[in-house]
């Protein structure tokens, strides 16, 4: 299964976000904490999320939805008892990879998985979207086959570049696939060296059986 032809298509990217609750900086109940967040890794832009007094336990909390990896900074300006202090925490955020698989003529439940059924003359049609937008970056499709009680590497496609909408279409030919042997495939986003805003990640597995 080693044919993966690439074309582009217009598709709205879904959001890839994570609700974050960074830690707190203990201080006296009369103190004021300034909580800052940088907009993106490597960016000089910094956004003030919250300024306020800690509660009776010495905590001040805030939530933020991050689509990119960010650096949180908690700044304590100091008071009569304690000097100024700053605490920083880096939070890495994975990109979100969504893959849809079509072209099957039916499905079959085997164990814990639902397998998509294909004839050898068919194509496994694949559509992949990565969010946030990763235009021009790389996606590969990894294929594994199951035998001797375990999953084993079968093939990995060449890099397919994401379109301006962070989307890519392709297909896998199965005319050389083994009949009735379980296969599974998933898309993997491989971030470029110049992109440090999100971590590489993979879509969920899709399961395939090939019949005559």
Collapse the DSSP code of 44 into the 3-class scheme (helix H, G, I; strand E, B; otherwise coil) and give the result: coil
Q: Is residue 2 part of a domain?
A: no
Other beta carbons within 10 angstroms of residue 177's beta carbon come to 21
Better pLDDT: 23 or 16: 23
The CATH number given to whatever domain includes residue 24 is 2.60.40.730
- CA 31 remoteness from chain centre: 38
Better pLDDT: 65 or 15: 65
Please check whether residues 111 and 65 belong to one and the same domain.
Answer: no
Task: Look at residue 112 in the predicted model and tell me its pLDDT.
Answer: 93
State the pLDDT confidence band at 53, using cuts at 50, 70 and 90: confident
Q: Is residue 102 part of a domain?
A: yes
The CA-based angle 109-171-155, given to 5 degrees, is 80
Task: Look at residue 85 in the predicted model and tell me its pLDDT.
Answer: 84
Better pLDDT: 79 or 136: 136
Better pLDDT: 15 or 33: 33
Of 150, 159, 158, 154, nearest in space to 177 by CA: 154
Task: Look at residue 44 in the predicted model and tell me its pLDDT.
Answer: 58
Please write the tens of the pLDDT for every residue from 107-155: 999 999 999 999 999 999 999 999 999 999 999 999 999 999 999 999 9
Instruction: List the alpha helices (DSSP H) in 52-196.
Output: none
Q: Which of 91, 125, 153 is the last residue of a domain?
A: 91
Please check whether residues 42 and 117 belong to one and the same domain.
Answer: no
**Cβ atoms 143, 155 nearer than 8 A:** yes
Please check whether residues 61 and 140 belong to one and the same domain.
Answer: no
Task: Look at residue 1 in the predicted model and tell me its pLDDT.
Answer: 40
Task: Look at residue 4 in the predicted model and tell me its pLDDT.
Answer: 28
Better pLDDT: 77 or 157: 157
C-alpha 34/C-alpha 178 separation (Å) is 61
Does residue 31 surpass a pLDDT of 60? no
**Cβ atoms 156, 141 nearer than 8 A:** yes
Mean pLDDT for 66-74 is 84
State the pLDDT confidence band at 78, using cuts at 50, 70 and 90: confident
137 Cβ partners below 8 Å, 6+ apart?
130, 161, 162, 189, 190, 191, 192, 195
Domain extent at residue 128: 96-211
Q: Is residue 86 part of a domain?
A: yes
Please check whether residues 118 and 87 belong to one and the same domain.
Answer: no
Q: Which two tokens stand for residue 154?
A: 């079968």
132 Cβ partners below 8 Å, 6+ apart?
13, 15, 16, 67, 68, 95, 166, 197, 198
């Amino acid at each position: 299964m080693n044919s993966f032809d690439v074309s582009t298509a217009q598709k709205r990217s879904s959001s890839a976000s994570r609700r974050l609750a960074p830690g707190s900086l203990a201080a006296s109940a009369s103190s004021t904490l300034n909580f800052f967040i940088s907009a993106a890794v490597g960016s000089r832009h910094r956004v003030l999320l919250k300024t306020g007094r800690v509660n009776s336990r010495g905590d001040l909390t805030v939530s933020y939805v991050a689509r990119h990896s960010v650096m949180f900074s908690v700044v304590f300006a100091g008071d009569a008892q304690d000097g100024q202090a700053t605490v920083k925490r880096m939070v890495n955020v994975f990109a979100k990879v969504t893959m849809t698989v079509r072209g099957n003529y039916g499905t079959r439940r085997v164990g814990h998985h639902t397998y998509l059924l294909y004839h050898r003359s068919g194509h496994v049609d694949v559509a992949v979207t990565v969010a946030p937008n990763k235009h021009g970056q790389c996606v590969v499709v990894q294929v594994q086959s199951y035998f001797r009680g375990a999953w084993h590497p079968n093939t990995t496609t060449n890099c397919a570049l994401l379109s301006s909408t962070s989307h890519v279409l392709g297909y896998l030919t199965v005319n050389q696939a083994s009949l009735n042997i379980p296969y599974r495939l998933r898309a993997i986003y491989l971030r470029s060296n110049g992109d440090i805003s999100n971590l590489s990640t993979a879509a969920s597995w899709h399961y395939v059986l090939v019949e005559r």
